Amino acid sequence: MYWMDMTEQEIADTVGAFGVPKFRAAQVRDWLKKGVRPEDMTNLPKNLREQLSSVPFGGARIFDKRISEKDGTVKYLFELEDGNLVEGVLMRYSYGNTVCLSTQVGCNMGCKFCASTLEGCVRSLRPGEMLSFLAEIERDEPPTDRERTVTNIVLMGSGEPLDNYDNVVTFLKRVTSPSGPNISARNISLSTCGLVPKIYSFIDDAPHVTLSISLHAHSNEVRSSIMPVNKAYPIEQVLEAANTYAQRTGRRVVFEYALIGGVNDSEADAKALAQRLKGMLCHVNLIPLNPVKERGLNGVTRQHAYRFQGWLEENRISATVRREMGADIEGACGQLRRRVLNEMRG
Ligand code: SAH
């Protein structure tokens, strides 16, 4: 058991086992909420701090950080206690700050355009590690005009969140808890490549969290060629699950659609996509593909993305082109981690 993963009761029991007065547990709990390690819990006696340090902390440290000169986006590389590295991004918008968090070190889904999955999934992240990313960012970028720096979370970093289901749901419960970071579930989005049975569980377990689905194609032929997961859960099943989410929650599903030059970006593709989505409470988020060196797929210009948006809108599908954040700092999934790992390997 790790400090950062413990519930309040588990903290009380663990601290209590060291034979100290009860109020110490509340002090430890308050520090852990801020992601502080036992050695830095300054209002505890030194020998207690040492005793508490015998239990592993289970959090992250900032290993590297890049700040975009263009838009102030901050890309973090976190180091976990086992030495693994994982990315997170802080993006500044007019309505607040969004943090993009990873849910796994690497990924097993094998999408052909993505850098995160090139070497498979090393391991899934624990809830306390994901909470620790937030705490580290809050400490690194203290809020100026509001209570917290982070107002919104998107689980769109490396990893497939629904492939780490229990940990992610526990994280969502804790991060939305009034006694924790207290971030509104409505300000949180989870993105999945389409693990259909888990989407149904997610509707039951976290109905207030926004569901994003990486669609990227309108046909099984193209989707299977770029997303192996489509062979297990074809597009019809993904759309049925998406529709169930929309019906049950009354909220729109967001479909992510990475525009890949010559693969899924023609006017005919837009029409066929609109046909598929007709009548569904949904929104399409268009992302010009960020070409990954190892992948050999092409992006499209922003101008072309706006044209594609127009084609969807002509067919009454609501769509936007995602703002490009941190293009100068390897904002795309898995790219910074890969480069640092390659540098370290020499
Ligand atoms: N595994 C989840 C979470 C990743 S979210 C999922 O698949 O949804 C990251 C989003 O960025 C996904 O929509 C993913 O398909 C997309 N993406 C990955 N690599 C990309 C690239 N090189 N350019 C543009 N989008 C990319």
Domain of residue 36: give its range.
3-52
Task: Please report the atom of ligand 1 found closest to the CA of residue 159.
Answer: 1
**Are 75 and 16 part of one and the same domain?**
no
Decide: 135 and 59 in contact? Cβ < 8 Å: yes
Q: Which domain CATH number covers 309?
A: 3.20.20.70
Of all protein residues, whose CA lies closest to atom 19 belonging to ligand 1?
114
* Atom number in ligand 1 closest to CA 256: 13
CA of 238 to the centre of ligand 1 (A): 16
Same domain, 129 and 27: no
Query: How much is the pLDDT for 335?
Result: 63
Predicted local distance difference test score (pLDDT) of residue 334: 60
According to DSSP, the β-strands at 282-288 and 319-321 are parallel
Same domain, 24 and 127: no
Report which of residues 339 and 92 the model is more confident about. 92
Q: What is the pLDDT of residues 147-165, one digit of tens each?
A: 888 999 999 999 999 999 9
Q: Could you tell me if 200 and 251 lie in one domain?
A: yes
* Distance of CA 214 from the midpoint of ligand 1 (Å): 7
Q: Is the pLDDT of residue 331 over 60?
A: no
Residue whose CA lies nearest to ligand 1 atom number 24: 289
My answer on whether 160 and 45 are in the same domain is no
Distance CA 42, CA 134 (A): 21
- Residue 295 has a pLDDT of 80
- Residue 87: active-site member: yes
Helix/strand/coil (H/E/C) assignment for every residue in the chain: CCHHHCCHHHHHHHHHCCCCCCHHHHHHHHHHHCCCCHHHCCCCCHHHHHHHCCCCCCCEEEEEEEECCCCCCEEEEEEECCCCEEEEEEEEECCEEEEEECCEEECCCCCCCCCCCCCCEEEECCHHHHHHHHHHHHHHCCCCCCCCCCCEEEECCCCCHHHHHHHHHHHHHHHCCCCCCCCCHHHEEEEECCCHHHHHHHHHHCCCCEEEEECCCCCHHHHHHHCCHHHHCCHHHHHHHHHHHHHHHCCCEEEEEEECCCCCCCHHHHHHHHHHHCCCCEEEEEEECCCCHHHCCCCCCHHHHHHHHHHHHHCCCCEEECCCCCHHHCCCCCHHHHHHHHHHHC
Task: Express each pLDDT in 279-301 by its tens digit.
Answer: 999 999 999 998 887 788 999 99
Contact call for residues 193 and 111 (beta carbons, < 8 A): yes
Model confidence pLDDT, tens digit, residues 97-116: 999 999 999 999 999 999 99
Tokens of 48: 């207690």
Are 48 and 68 in a shared domain? no
Looking at ligand 1, which residue's alpha carbon is closest to its atom 5? Answer: 156
**Pocket of ligand 1 contains residue 114 by CB under 6 Å:** yes
Q: Taking all residues of the chain, what is their mean pLDDT, rounded to a whole number?
A: 93
- Of 16-20, 118-122, 134-138, 321-325, the range with the lowest mean pLDDT is 321-325
Q: Are residues 92 and 39 in the same domain?
A: no
Identify the band that residue 184 occupies on the pLDDT scale cut at 50, 70 and 90.
Answer: very high
Per-residue pLDDT at 137 exceeds 80: yes
pLDDT at 213: 98
Confidence of residue 330 (pLDDT cuts 50, 70, 90): low
Domain co-membership, 116 together with 188? yes
Ligand 1: atom nearest CA of 103 is: 3
In a shared domain, residues 67 and 42: no
134 pLDDT higher than 90: yes
The CATH number of the domain where 18 resides is what?
1.10.150.530
In tens, the pLDDT along 223-264 reads 999 999 999 999 999 999 999 999 999 999 999 999 999 999
Pocket test for ligand 1, best of 202, 333, 335 (most atoms within 8 A of CB): 333
Indicate if 44 and 186 belong to the same structural domain: no
Task: Summarize the confidence of residues 86-106 as an average pLDDT.
Answer: 93
The total of structural domains in the chain comes to 2
Q: Is the pLDDT of residue 313 over 70?
A: yes
Together in a domain, 91 and 166: yes
30 and 75 within one domain: no
Q: How much is the pLDDT for 164? A: 98
- Domain boundary (29, 52, 75) is at 52
